[in-house]
Amino acid sequence: MSQRIAILGGCGGIGRDLVAALRADGTTPIVLDLSASIEAHPMDVETHTVDATDADAMLRVADEAGEIGGFVNLCGFMSDAEPLATHTPETWASLIDGNLTSAFYAARAFSSHIIDGGAMVLTGSGLGHFARPGYGAYAVAKAGIAAITRQLALELAPNCRVNCVAPSAVDTAFLRGGTGRSDEQQAERLDREAYAKTIPLGRIAKPRDITGPIQFLLSPASDYITGQVLHVNGGTYMG
């Protein structure tokens, strides 16, 4: 793969682990994130401030980043648990815009900057495939990410492969409000001990459990894989 990989949401827990792993492999990561996220977790790499829900800003930052070998979209957040039918229009719009529309804006902006033979990796969720109560618009948005993955894989082939990782809960600030959207000290959204008991492998995911598969999907080792959703969840959902 090219030595330059752009990472949207690179200051989050998974993003920081991916940045470190790529650098260890001799790859140059380019981090794109909210200004609050960059301030909370500054890194010694090329960094660009962007709001992924701003279509024009995404085009601008893609031009600034220039030619890349791959693009990873880790952008996303969830709201407090509540039934879908009780969502306000504002909650629905916020979650769809922040998780799904932003993925469209990012793919639209960065796809033309990926070199031939490069790769794009989106981030979905097991909740987009395995319905659980209380996740509402977030789950709908993540189901949409799987559809976007397949659509882009067809339309960008053979020059660019497009795949998706779909994690279960990961031990990051995402469970405490999210990087750049909270002080990362809020109460967690789930009971870890109870959650771990539902997982065949017996524990919650760590960032490295997710970044390893992302690196695989960026690498030549996955040259014949496109349009796929890779579930990384300790066996919780087997699709």
Catalytic residues: 138
How many whole angstroms separate alpha carbon 219 and alpha carbon 202? 29
- What residues contact 76, with CB distance under 8 A and at least 6 apart? 9, 98, 99, 102, 123, 141, 142
Let me know if 44 is exposed, middle or buried by CB neighbors in 10 A (0-12, 13-18, 19+): exposed
- Exposure b/e, 122-155, CB count within 10 A at least 16 = b: bbbbbbbbbeeebbbbbbbbbbbbbebbbebbee
Nearest to 110 by CA among 148, 59, 45: 59
228 burial via Cβ count (<10 Å: 0-12, 13-18, 19+): middle
Q: Which residues contact 136 (CB under 8 A, 6 or more apart)?
A: 79, 82, 83, 84, 87, 91, 92, 95
